[in-house]
Structures are given as structure tokens and as C-alpha cells.
Structure 1
């Protein structure tokens, strides 16, 4: 079980002091049987007058910061030490009734899965539907794990990963047409594609790291995005279409959501002159105990949002 230290720093700078409204911070990894937090600290400068924690509707840990001081910068740094128990593709077990596609979720699970099966993007010409159906065998049984694995690895193989610092996500149709995108674009495409086939799927935001020197990962140096799909027998299973990963090896969950806008690491408002904003700096590092190796120096898609009185910064 690897011991990891994760450091996530976001800093905004301004030409003159500005005031800050409420901020929501989602940088604390979710605790579970495969993710055990040993130590976690959150440092904010300027120091907020009030900091409180809550669990949102999907159980994500959210810190709410309120400020009463003006400043030329806002610096938020999360540092976590944790145990991580990787699950490999071969360890994914599926109930007999769900091993072949199509199948129907049990009556006990279906009421809680419906919103995760519900489509989020319009597809009037059935472009995403037809692409998804291309992974189904029309002349015999289709292996469920094989179908999902093929989709994740096909995105990695056929689509070009292109970092994009602008906020927002491409629609699945845009990603299919462009054949390129960020990790969050690929995650949204796969979510919509598997939902078109009746699977329950959720968006995941978190961190990616290289478990060993021989295993490269795209998306290091930043937050990362991938997909969780509910499979009877194993529950929610990770699929990372950017790296072609099945299982959680090299992936640390922070936020789980039906839609990317629910999983923003840092969001809030500021008030000042429109020209006040200078720049933003974002850095994420994951260190494996006993290894000097850091994540590959690749740039992921910035997920932080910082909306001010003059619009998005």
C-alpha cells in the first residue's frame, strides 16, 4: 500500500488589494477503504475570519472560507499524507447477471443510480449514441468489462490530449469532432457514451501519479479528471480514458459528481477594479514514499474557477 504526500497549491495575484467573498475549497481526498488519510492540513493566506467544513450532497469534503481582509493575493495550499490501495483491472469482479451486455441494474440499486444514468448533453442526431453502439457486438454477446475497457483505451489511442487552461468543458460531440481535448473533455465524453448504453456513471476530479518509473501518466502537475462506472459486484469502478487506466492504480479521488461543475477545486468571488487581476499559479505534486520520482512534468486542464465582481478571472 503506497504512502503518498500530495501538495496542491493555488495562488491568485492582484495589482492592488481586493476583497474576497465566500470561497468553496474541494482539495481533501475522499476517505475510503482504498484511501486512508493520515494527516491533512489546509493553509490559506490571508487567513479567513471563519473556516468551516461540510459534506455536500455527494459526500465530498468541502471547506467554506469567509474573509474580512483585503489583500494583493490569495494563496490556498492543501497538503495531505495518505495510504493508497491500488485496484488493478484484473481485480474487478462483476456479478454473473452483469458480465454480458446488455443487463439491467437490480431493483434495489436502480432508484439510487437513476440520476447517474440520466444524460446531461443533447444529442439530437444520435452522434454520441452511434459512437457508443460501435463498442457493442452486433453478432453475439458483448463482455461488459471488455466493452468499457475498449472505450477507455480507444479514447486514449485515437484522441489527442491537449492541455487547455480556459475553464469549461467541451460537449461530447465537440470532442468527437475535434478528436482532441483535455482530461475532463475525455471524461465527459465517456460518461455520456456509457450513459447512452444504460450505465450509471459519474465524473471524478482528483490527482494522478506515476506508480512506478515505467508507468507514465498524462495529467500530472495539475488536477485530473476521469470516470466512475457502477458495476454490480464491484460497485463504482474507475476508468481513466486519458491514460487508459481501469481501476484506481495511480488515481486519487477528491470529488465525485454527476457533472464537472459540481467538482471544482476552488471557487469564489472577489471585488475590485476590473484591471486588478494579474495572474494565477497552480501546482500539484504527488510524492510516493521511498521514491524521488515526481509526476510526469505534463500539464493537465485547470479546473479552478475564480469568479469576481467583474466576471471570471
Structure 2
């Protein structure tokens, strides 16, 4: 599937800002399930732009606007081809034993996914060592999809996981952090994925960057699960990068001098064709 993406981030300041420095993670990843045909980053006003790869392999652009400005626009455009991959075969949970030591960073607690008895808190039946891992992960995806309500006004980027568990309403970030808390407590290495979703009006979370989980399937690799939409992440999911949680792969964040309290507008458009 070919997807065209346009992601526009606009900041407006009541008084001039200067020395605005932003970390931008909007470049889709290049891997087996997708190929990046084009990526272009445009910044207004004129900016100094450099790039590097972060610890997890995502491409990060550093955008530095030196001069005073009251309006900053960062627009990323990309064309990505996504590819179908074969489904993993039956994989007992016991096969994870040999993998856990190599993937400790995706098993331990982090600030937004703290330690806790999340399987019990979220009402999840614990699997046995002979249970099929992909089947369990899909059932967990379905369980979270049915248990919680997608509501863009219910939470913010700093809402604690325990608060989402209590109120039962949130966005893709919350669904993803909940699934990470459960899988890590069960000894299943799992990571937070940031990306885009081509929904065609069929799925939730396409109005901005989307989030889902990638879990390790021994002998196969990292397979994506989207609890916000109760599905495996396939050709309609376009990955930017992954980390332990949202903070590791947030799309745009930065600092500036002056400016006052900024106003932020984000617009994401994803067009796709088979």
C-alpha cells in the first residue's frame, strides 16, 4: 500500500520568540514492513536543521530558529510503501525465556509505564507457558479495546496510567501504555510505537500521530498490536519509530526564549492507495 503523509505543526506566540530549538521525530522508519520513498521537512521561518539517529534508531531532526518570530511552522511530507508480512506461527510463551535478558529495556518500568499489578488492575487472565503468544496478545488487544472508551478530551500527555485505569476513557497513547504495563508485568518484551494511521474513516486515532504496541515474537520479530482499534498493525499503520513509552518518541518538542504562552495547532493528513 502506498501512503502519502502531510504533518503540519504550527506555533503562534503573542510576542516574539527567539532561539527556538525543537526535536522533530516525524521521519518514517525504513524496515521490512515499510519502505520510505520520499521525506521532506520544511520550516518557516528559515531555520538551521540537522539530523541524527536516537538510541532506538529513529531519525531525529533538530530545528533551530535563531531570529525573533511569532509564527513557527514545521511541515513534514512523506511517501511510504507498506508491505504485507506473513503471520507468525504458533509460539508458546515459554519461548520468551531465552529472549528476556537481551530485551530488558522493554520489560522494566518507566515513568509513564510504572511498575504495578496491571494484569489484575485491568482484569486480564494470566496466560500459561504453553499458551500461544500471538493468540494471547490478540486477545489482550481485544480486551483493552472493549474495556475502554476512545475519548480525545478525557486525558492529556501527562495523564498517569492509574488515572486512565480508573476512569476508563482516553486516547491511543493511554491504550498503548496500558498494554505495555500488562505485557511487561507478564514478562513479554514490548515497546511503544509512534506513527500514522490510514483509516479511511474506519479507525480511531488518525487525526494526529497514532500509537500502538510492538511485542516480541521469538523466531519472528516485533509484531504490532493496536488496542485502540482491536487489530494487528498491518499496511494501514505507518511507523515513525519506537521507544519504551511516549516520551522516547514524541513527535515534536522543544524550548524557546520569550514568546509568552504559545498556541499549538497540529494537522495530519494521510492518503492511501492499494
Shared fold per TM-score greater than 0.5: yes
> Which gives a bigger RCO, structure 1 or 2 (Cα 8 Å, sep 6+)?
2
User: Which secondary structure does the structure 1 equivalent of 2:26 belong to?
Assistant: coil
Q: Deviations over 1:155-192 (max 9, x none)?
A: 11121001149742433332222111110011000001
Q: Deviations over 1:251-272 (max 9, x none)?
A: 1111210121111111111222
Q: Structure 1 residue runs of 4+, over 6 Å off? A: none
1:17 aligns with 2:16: yes
Task: Name 2:253's counterpart in structure 1.
Answer: 267
Task: Name 1:208's counterpart in structure 2.
Answer: 197
Within 1, Cα distance between the matches of 2:270 and 2:75? 14
On the 8 A contact 2:100/2:189 being kept in 1, the answer is: no
Within 2, Cα distance between the matches of 1:47 and 1:165? 37
Return closer, same or farther for 1:153/1:165 CA change in 2, 3 Å cut-off. Answer: closer
Question: Structure 2 matches for 1:204-243, cutoff 5 A?
Answer: 204-210=193-199, 216-243=202-229
Task: Name 1:8's counterpart in structure 2.
Answer: 7
Return closer, same or farther for 1:246/1:135 CA change in 2, 3 Å cut-off. Answer: farther
Within 1, Cα distance between the matches of 2:35 and 2:227? 25
Task: Name 2:55's counterpart in structure 1.
Answer: 57
Larger radius of gyration: 1
Structure 1 unaligned residues grouped into runs of 5+:
291-313
Within 2, Cα distance between the matches of 1:34 and 1:273? 42
Q: Deviations over 1:207-239 (max 9, x none)?
A: 0112xx5x7110112011111101112211001
Task: Name 1:296's counterpart in structure 2.
Answer: none
Task: Name 1:104's counterpart in structure 2.
Answer: 96
Query: More displaced, 3-12 or 19-28?
Result: 19-28
Within 1, Cα distance between the matches of 2:189 and 2:51? 29
On the 8 A contact 1:135/1:151 being kept in 2, the answer is: no
On the 8 A contact 2:155/2:171 being kept in 1, the answer is: no
Provide the TM-score with structure 1 as the length reference: 0.80
Per-residue deviation at 1:100?
A: 2.5
Give the total of aligned pairs: 272
Return closer, same or farther for 1:226/1:21 CA change in 2, 3 Å cut-off. Answer: same
On the 8 A contact 1:171/1:189 being kept in 2, the answer is: no
Q: 2:139 aligns with which of 150, 153, 162?
A: 150
Task: Name 1:67's counterpart in structure 2.
Answer: 65
Task: Name 2:120's counterpart in structure 1.
Answer: 130
Task: Name 2:149's counterpart in structure 1.
Answer: 160
Per-residue deviation at 1:112?
A: 2.8
Task: Name 2:159's counterpart in structure 1.
Answer: 170
Within 2, Cα distance between the matches of 1:273 and 1:7? 26
* RMSD (Å) for aligned C-alpha atoms: 2.3
Return closer, same or farther for 1:122/1:17 CA change in 2, 3 Å cut-off. Answer: closer
Task: Name 1:254's counterpart in structure 2.
Answer: 240
Q: Deviations over 1:19-43 (max 9, x none)?
A: 1332111111001122111111100
Q: 1:195 aligns with which of 184, 188, 213?
A: 184
On the 8 A contact 2:14/2:70 being kept in 1, the answer is: yes
